[in-house]
Amino acid sequence: MTAPRLLILGLDALPWRVLTPMMEAGAAPRLRALVESGCSGVLRSTVPHQTPAAWTTFMTGVQPTTHGIVNWQHYDAATNSLRFNNVECFAGKTIYERFSQSGRRVGVVMQPVTFPPFKVNGFLLSGFDSPGVSEPFAWPRELEAEILKLCPRHGENLGLEEHWQGASGAVDDATFAANLELLNERVRRVTKLSLDLNARNPVDVLMVYFQDPDLLLHRARRWSVPETWNESPARREAVRKFFRTLDACCGELIDAFHGANTDGYTLVLSDHGQQADAWRVRLNSILMELGFLVPAKGAAVLAEGLKRLWKKKGSQGFGVPIDWKRTRAFMPFQSCTGFVYVNLEGRQPRGSVAASDLRRVRDDVIAALREFRDPQTKANYFQEVAPLMAQGEGLNLPDIFVQPAAGVEFVRKAKAGEFAFPTKRPFAGLHDPDGLYILRGPNVRVQRDTNAQIVDLAPTILAMCGEAVPSYMEGRALSECFAEPLTVTTLPFAWESREAGDAYSAEGAAAVEKRLADLGYLD
């Protein structure tokens, strides 16, 4: 029996609260047809609900506490510094490598957290965390020259933000429309490149990723939802034009990949959703107010300044010089989820908390954060505060995670007496945990509101395509999506670790840092 073909379309950050009104407005007829002929629902993201964590979970079938990717940046406790994550930082084989091992041909186009490009039985193009076309961006490497011939503007596929003109709240309607036309052009470019590559190198499993919904909603959510899109009919129509482009390109990929064959699967998914942006919360300011993070004073200020000048790392970026000898907890990077580390002896270079006191200090921080209310506004900025229990060995994950209240994102820089401030981008979107999925294919039920988690997709994909599911996968096969329950063959398999490494050159890291900062992912 021939194994079914599988087309995966990644529509980053797209929630039902945006897609459903677009379908009802006639801007997404192909996606609506998928919904009406398949199984769909909310797809709950990971903790954190952030692109690198969620897409790595999609590829590996395990949670961030096992694969180790919680942010774009990885906190290196030994040096108290940050570096960018890459495929060498997470453990476990991806579904693409598993399909390759079983002899299926695989194509992956633009998915994040695939840099540096790794070996598959087919082709792989790294996503927007790839620095650019001057560094490795495809497997096999000899394919790169062919890609640049097929798509001379492939560099813009990796990084489009630098071509965007101004903030959406400040530009006129013509400039706004021109910015969105950049997204339309990239959607069409990535679609054509994917079709050309598959025509030249036919595959059984094709994944095509579109970053564009995420960029749109980060820059222009206000004109993408019914509650506010009528404020500007011109911008509303520019957004609808984008969705018509995206929808048509999804339809073109479905038609070309499956043709008249009705035995194949199509899976559409987003890694998280988008909500209205409202507040930035200085979690380190709160830790300072609670006495866990201690600013340097007197001679300690001079000592800290000299260390930063000498080492060019340490407490840079925290907004205040830190007295590490007295600091017990801190947050090292910006994220939609707040991540707090205890300043542990033997882990941090200037740790102040003995290993025997780790749990006590961690629990004290959790209790204090749960009780905290802004002294000025009495606001509670936290939905949940809890320990982050790492499942993998040597992952150096945070000790505490803090899920934000609606509309809140955490920033790293502390400012004495200031705990929160309104966003400067009220027109923009902010990540939230609820993405979406749509699945159509043989034996798939026609039903809606069948909710799932993104960690469930890897075992579901493997099982429905007749592949064994490794026993370590933490999701479950979604049998409720099928008229006849899936047959799941479990593969007793140990968790494969990778050798951690830093795959970025200094120039490449700088390029990715600018790109992520332009998207608002770095403070």
pLDDT at 62 over 80: yes
**pLDDT band at residue 501 under the 50/70/90 scheme:** very low
- Examine the pLDDT at 302 and tell me if it is beyond 60: no
**Which among 454, 344, 352 has a CA at the least distance from the CA of 397?**
344
Please confirm whether the linkage preceding 202 is cis (ω < 30° from 0): no
d(CA 332, CA 322): 12
What number is the average pLDDT over the span 70-92?
Answer: 76
Measure CA 409 to chain center: 15
Task: State what percent of residues in the chain have pLDDT above 90.
Answer: 72
C-alpha gyration radius of the chain: 23
pTM of the predicted model, to two decimals?
A: 0.91
Ranges in the chain annotated CATH 3.40.720.10 = 6-276+428-518
**CA–CA dist 263, 3 (Å, integer):** 9
Cβ burial, residue 248 (10 Å; 0-12/13-18/19+): middle
Which residues fall within 8 angstroms of residue 346, CB to CB, at 6 or more apart?
Answer: 355
Q: Give whole-number Cα distances, 346 to 4, 340, 356, 394, 499, in Å.
A: 51, 17, 12, 14, 22
- Which run of H or of E encompasses 456? none
Handedness of CA 173, 176, 180, 181 (dihedral sign): positive
- Torsion angles phi and psi, residue 505, rounded to 5: -75, 170
Residues 413-437 have a mean pLDDT of 93
Name which of 102-116, 151-165, 284-298, 303-317 the model is least confident about. 303-317
Least Cα distance to 264 among 206, 209, 191, 210 occurs for 206
> What pLDDT band is residue 78 in, cutting at 50, 70 and 90?
confident
CA pair distance 409, 433, nearest whole angstrom = 13
The mean pLDDT of 486-498, rounded to a whole number, is: 75
Could you tell me the CA-to-CA distances from 380 to 97, 331, 424 in Å, in that order?
A: 44, 18, 20
pLDDT digits (tens, 9 = 90+) for 387-418: 988 766 667 889 999 999 999 999 999 998 99
DSSP 101-159: HTT--EEEES-SS--S----SEEEE--TTS--TTS--EESTTHHHHHHHH-TTHHHHH-
**Residue 116 confidence (pLDDT) above 80:** yes
CB atoms within 10 A of CB 360: 12
* Chosen CATH of 6-276+428-518 out of 1.10.1790.20, 3.40.720.10, 3.40.50.300, 3.40.50.150: 3.40.720.10
- Longest Cα–Cα distance of the chain, Å, equals 76
**What is the per-residue pLDDT across 332-363, written as a single tens digit (0 to 9) for each?**
988 889 999 999 999 998 999 999 999 999 99
pLDDT tens per residue across span 176-229: 999 999 999 999 999 999 999 999 999 999 999 999 999 999 999 999 999 999
Is residue 507 predicted with pLDDT exceeding 80? Answer: no
Which CA distances in Å does 326 have to 26, 33, 293? 59, 60, 8
Report how far residue 148's alpha carbon sits from residue 141's, in angstroms, rounded to the nearest whole number. Answer: 12
Identify which has the larger pLDDT, 31 or 337.
Answer: 31
SS3 string, 292-357, reads CCCECCCHHHHHHHHHHHHHCCCCCCCCCCECCCCCCEECCCCECCEEEEECEECCECCCCECHHH
